A = this chain, B = another copy of it.
């Protein structure tokens, strides 16, 4: 059995809803459109949350990978 790698988990989440938490306390939810080895990430239909509160809907968002703490399918 081949061992799985971390990016496999992101690949399985492609085009599905994910939650992305950032180092500055912001959370973005949306459909995972793209990511790369730096974990730079693009979400569609994105919503921005701070302290659990919806701040705004922002359509497409590019998130710089080094800001990300976790990504979780919803």
Hey, which bits of chain A sit against chain B, CB under 8 A? 3-10, 14, 19, 22-24, 26, 28, 33-36, 39-42, 46, 58-73
A61 near B66 (CB under 8 angstroms)?
no
Given A3-B14, A24-B23, A39-B40, residue A34 in contact with residue B8 (CB < 8 A)? yes
Measured CB to CB, the closest approach of chain B to A21, in angstroms, equals 9
Q: Give the docked Cα–Cα distance between A15 and B16 (Å).
A: 25
A62 near B9 (CB under 8 angstroms)?
yes
A3 near B34 (CB under 8 angstroms)?
yes
A35 near B6 (CB under 8 angstroms)?
yes
Q: Give the docked Cα–Cα distance between A8 and B33 (Å).
A: 10
